[in-house]
Amino acid sequence: MDARSIREAAPGDLPFLPALEEASDTLLGAAAGMRSAPADLPPAATLPEFAAARGLLVAGWPPVGFARLEELDGQAHLEQLSVHPDAAGAGLGRALVEAALDWARKQGYVSMTLCTFRDVPFNAPFYASCGFDVVPAPDGELAELRQHEISVGMDSLGRRVAMRAPLRR
Each domain of the chain, given as residue ranges in start order, spans 3-166
**What pLDDT does 81 receive?**
97
Could you give the maximum distance between any two Cα atoms of the chain, in Å?
40
The pTM for the full model equals 0.93
pLDDT tens by residue, 92-133:
999 999 999 999 999 999 999 999 999 999 999 999 999 999
For residue 33, pLDDT over 90 is answered with: no
- Does domain 3-166 sit in CATH 3.40.630.30? yes
pLDDT average, residue stretch 22-46: 79
For the cut 80, the answer to whether the pLDDT of residue 41 exceeds it is no
Q: Report how far apart, in Å, the C-alpha atoms of 69 and of each of 40, 99, 101, 123, 135 are.
A: 23, 11, 10, 17, 19
Amino acid (one-letter) located at 41: L
